[in-house]
Amino acid sequence: MNPAAAIERLARPLVGALVAAPLLALVLALSSAAAQAGATRTVVLIVTDGLRWQEVFSGADPSLLNDRDGGSWLSDEDLRKRYWNEDPAVRRKLLFPFLWGTVATQGQLFGNQQLGSIAQVTNGKAFSYPGYNEMTTGFPNDAIDSNEFGMNPNATVFEWLNAQPEFHGRVAVYGTWSAFDRIFNKPRSHLVMQTGWTLNAKRDETPRDALLRELFATTTEFDEEDAPNSFLQVPLLDYVATGRPRVLFVGYGETDNWAHQGRYDLVLDSARRFDGFVAQLWQTMQAKPEYRGSTTFIITTDHGRGSGPSEWKEHGVEEKGSENIWIGVLGPDTKALGERRQTPRVTQAQIAATVAALLGKDYPRAEPRAAAPIEAVLH
């Protein structure tokens, strides 16, 4: 029995004939509002490492579509055929068709500074480990001053949710970077995890599993800590099909890796494929009754980058603008307000409590250091 029907059944004997109709209408209206709120049952936090807000909101940077400053191996002409249009609204959709065709029409996007929407990190470091700690715990930790920092002493919101019976065993971390083992403190948290170049073993391995294992074992490692995004997508989709996750972290690394290599053409290719991976995950989950209409995606980055002919390759407090990020939210509890403008600043630290709040949980009550959730995406 749905909530409205149950309340109606209880209310009828309690009211007289003269007041039954208006009282019942009020009760039904309140119960309908309650039923519409809190529809999210599954939350997926998706991060593409080091992808600038400039590309998200304006598309390809014309000053970098070349070999001299962008390090591109494609000809300028071929690169422009793929990603250039004079209109930034068209240009950004060439790069991110899912972000601008679905998230921006059905959800919300924060971080376009040209429209007065500011999204920032608060950790004062503007590189990866501090950023992932901030977004998953809800607060910065000044002691985390290196990507080589050891096991995270702070429990993430994922670990906190996994300790609750309704989520236990259904909270997972899938990421290309092996450092996620330390960021989420794998030995302590006991989360389901698939990270870096380590492929989880399966009890009953299919030929497809065997092929993937061979690819992991025989592919030359561009980065010994960070596997290609495509290598993550296959086991990720398999896990969604069989593991029935309720809370999921997904971390893709290529956009940061290629920027550090000074290959703007491959930053754009990786960004475009990232958008496709997110679309594929969304479509896969929406095709399953368990997730359809009850799943929220939070999509973001761990830090920004510098600007200009060389600074775009790096990030950190020395590179101006590295504190600026972007955040997108898509789900049944988030109003379709699209690209936000003239909004109060949102921060990376608010993401942890937002994950919990979408699931009806008050994380800052358990962890007072955590920032409050982003209220605009909860109603």
Q: Is beta strand 327-330 parallel, antiparallel or unpaired with respect to 295-300?
A: antiparallel
What DSSP line would sit under 21-69, residue for residue? HHHHHHHHHHHHHHHHTT---EEEEEEETT--HHHHHH-S-GGGSSHHH
Measured CA to CA, the distance from residue 91 to residue 240 in angstroms comes to 32
| Percentage of the residues of the chain whose pLDDT score is greater than 90 | 87
Q: Which residues contact 319 (CB under 8 A, 6 or more apart)?
A: 126, 305, 306, 311
Number of neighbouring beta carbons within 10 Å of residue 362: 12
Within its chain, how far is the Cα of 219 from the centroid?
27
Does domain 40-377 fall into CATH 3.40.630.10? no
- Report the run of H or E that residue 282 belongs to, with start and end: helix 264-286
Q: What's the pLDDT at 366?
A: 97
The pLDDT tens digits of the residues spanning 20-47 come to 444 434 333 333 333 334 999 999 999 9
- Report the run of H or E that residue 249 belongs to, with start and end: strand 247-252
DSSP for residue 168? T
Q: Among candidates 179, 112, 164, which has minimal Cα distance to 327?
A: 112
Amino acid of residue 244: R
Q: What's the pLDDT at 74?
A: 86
| pTM assigned to the model | 0.90
The residue extents of the domains of the chain are 1-36, 40-377
DSSP for residue 117? -
Residue 201 banded pLDDT, cuts 50, 70, 90 = confident
The pLDDT tens digits of the residues spanning 301-360 come to 999 999 999 999 999 999 999 999 999 999 999 999 999 999 999 999 999 999 999 999
Average pLDDT, the chain: 91
Strand-pairing partners, residue 298, are 45, 329
